[in-house]
Amino acid sequence: MIVPAQNKVGEKILTVSNLKVDFYHNAHATHAVKGIDFEVFKGETVGIVGESGSGKSVSALSLLGLISDPGLVTDGKAMFKSINDGQFDLYQQSEKALRKIRGRDISMIFQDPMSSLNPVFTCGDQVLETILLHEKVSKKEAKERVISLFEKVRLPRPAQIYKAYPHEISGGQKQRVMIAMALACRPSLLIADEPTTALDVTVQSAILDLMQELRHAKETSVIFITHDLGVIAEVADRVLVMYRGKIVESGPVWNIFANPKHPYTKGLLACRPRLNMRLERLPIITDFMRSDLEGNITGVSDAKFKSVGEALMMSVKSSEDVEKQREAYMANEPILQVNELKTYFPIRKTLLGKPKEVVKAVDGVSFEVYPGETLGLVGESGCGKTTLGRTILRLVEATEGEVFFEGENILSMKRNQLRQLRKDIQIIFQDPYASLNPRISIGEAIMEPMRVHKVFKTEKERADWAMELLETVNLSSTYFSRYPHEFSGGQRQRVCIARTLALKPKFVICDESVSALDVSVQAQVLNLLNLLKERYNLTYIFISHDLAVVKFIADRILVMNKGRVEEIGFAENIYERPQKPYTQQLIKAIPKGDLEDVRKAVIRRKLQNPPPYRSL
Note the pLDDT of residue 615.
39
Decide if pLDDT at 362 tops 70: yes
Note the pLDDT of residue 35.
95
Q: Which residue has the higher pLDDT, 554 or 277?
A: 554
Mean pLDDT of 575-594: 86
Note the pLDDT of residue 1.
46
Note the pLDDT of residue 114.
67
**Which pLDDT band, with edges at 50, 70 and 90, does 234 fall under?**
confident
Separation CA 410–CA 412 (nearest Å): 6
Separation CA 500–CA 439 (nearest Å): 19
Note the pLDDT of residue 165.
92
Note the pLDDT of residue 613.
43
Q: Which residue has the higher pLDDT, 300 or 264?
A: 264
Decide if pLDDT at 239 tops 90: yes
Lowest mean pLDDT: which of 151-155, 263-267, 526-530? 151-155
If you average pLDDT over every residue of the chain, what do you get? 86
Note the pLDDT of residue 299.
67
pLDDT tens-place string over residues 52-93: 778 898 999 999 999 878 889 999 999 999 887 789 999 999
Report the run of H or E that residue 362 belongs to, with start and end.
strand 355-369
Q: Tell me the β-bridge partners of 376.
A: 542, 557
Note the pLDDT of residue 195.
83
Separation CA 110–CA 133 (nearest Å): 20
Note the pLDDT of residue 614.
40
**Running DSSP on this structure, what letter comes out for residue 279?**
B
Note the pLDDT of residue 609.
58
**Which pLDDT band, with edges at 50, 70 and 90, does 541 fall under?**
very high
Cα distances (Å, whole numbers) of residue 366 to 211, 382, 407, 485, 601: 40, 18, 15, 41, 40
Question: Residue 358 CA to chain centroid, in angstroms?
Answer: 31
* Candidate ranges 366-370, 422-426, 526-530, 612-616; pick with highest mean pLDDT: 366-370
Mean pLDDT of 574-591: 88
Q: What percent of the chain lies above the pLDDT cut of 70?
A: 93
**Which pLDDT band, with edges at 50, 70 and 90, does 595 fall under?**
confident
> Rounded to the nearest 5 degrees, what angle is found at the Cα of 559, between the Cα atoms of 556 and 561?
165
Separation CA 43–CA 10 (nearest Å): 9
Separation CA 560–CA 582 (nearest Å): 9
Decide if pLDDT at 528 tops 50: yes
Mean pLDDT of 242-251: 93
pLDDT tens-place string over residues 198-232: 677 777 787 788 777 777 777 789 999 988 788 88
pLDDT tens-place string over residues 291-348: 665 656 666 767 888 888 888 888 888 888 888 888 888 888 999 999 999 999 887 7
Note the pLDDT of residue 383.
87
Mean pLDDT of 137-148: 92
Note the pLDDT of residue 2.
47
Give helix then strand counts, H and E, for the chain: 23, 22
3-class SS of residue 454 = coil
Q: Which amino acid is at 498?
A: A
Note the pLDDT of residue 521.
83
> Rounded to the nearest 5 degrees, what angle is found at the Cα of 76, between the Cα atoms of 71 and 81?
110
pLDDT tens-place string over residues 144-180: 999 998 988 878 889 999 999 988 887 678 888 988 8
Q: Which amino acid is at 142?
A: A
Note the pLDDT of residue 578.
92
pLDDT tens-place string over residues 394-405: 999 999 999 999
Note the pLDDT of residue 301.
67
**Which pLDDT band, with edges at 50, 70 and 90, does 611 fall under?**
very low
Dihedrals φ, ψ of 431, to 5°?
Answer: -100, 105
Structural contact between residues 519 and 273, judged by C-beta atoms closer than 8 angstroms? no
